[in-house]
Amino acid sequence: MRPIIIGFGLMILCLLVLFKIAEVNFIKGDVKLEVIVAIAAMIFFFVGLYFNYQQGKKREEPTPQQPETGTINTIDYNQIKKLGLTQREHDVLVKMATGCSNQEIATALFLSESTIKTHVSNIFFKLDVKRRTQAVQVARELKIVV
């Protein structure tokens, strides 16, 4: 909740600053309206992206879960916990299973490729595999990805 408030605070601050800059420079006639609007548009576009990203990040996960019942096409959270996979690692694993490259995963999750590589390495260790195709195969068998 904190980051959202902070984010919106910064957002509003940005807006105000833009207003001021616009006002000041407008008298001088230096800055075109188009530029100001474009900048605002860009900033808020990405703010929107980031906001949504933050929202999606905070999805619940524990779900006490019962270790039985013919759960068809359902992720087995117990299995994930048993393997010691973290939330983020699972995120990466899911993306990996769809055939994304490290760079694509990084872009999708707003992270650097380095980070993805780190996660991927940890995933391989925890799943006891050597390659991503193997990881996907194992993950599918263990029902930790659909």
Beta carbon nearer to DNA, 22 or 124 = 124
Q: What gap in Å lies between CA 106 and CA 117, rounded to an integer?
A: 9
Following CA atoms 44, 45, 51, 57 in sequence, which dihedral angle do they give, to the nearest 10 degrees? -160
What is the x/- site pattern for its own copies, positions 11-50, by CB under 8 A?
x---x--xx--xx--x------xx-xxx-xxxxxxxxxxx
Beta carbon nearer to DNA, 28 or 59 = 59
**Residue 45 binds which one of its own copies, DNA, none, with CB within 5 to 8 A depending on kind?**
its own copies
Q: How far is C-alpha 62 from the geometric centre of its chain's CA atoms? A: 19
Region of 29 on the Ramachandran plot (φ > 0 left; ψ -120 to 50 alpha; else beta): left
Which of 74, 86, 87, 98 contacts its own copies by CB under 8 A? 98
Beta carbon nearer to its own copies, 17 or 86 = 17
Furthest-apart CA atoms within the chain: distance in Å = 72
Closest Cα to residue 145, out of 68, 89, 66?
A: 89
Q: What gap in Å lies between CA 122 and CA 87, rounded to an integer?
A: 12
What is the x/- site pattern for its own copies, positions 104-133, by CB under 8 A?
----x--------------------xxxxx
If one asks whether residue 68 binds its own copies (CB under 8 A), the answer comes out as: no
Which residues contact its own copies (rule: CB under 8 A)?
11, 15, 18-19, 22-23, 26, 33-34, 36-38, 40-53, 55-56, 59, 96-101, 108, 129-138
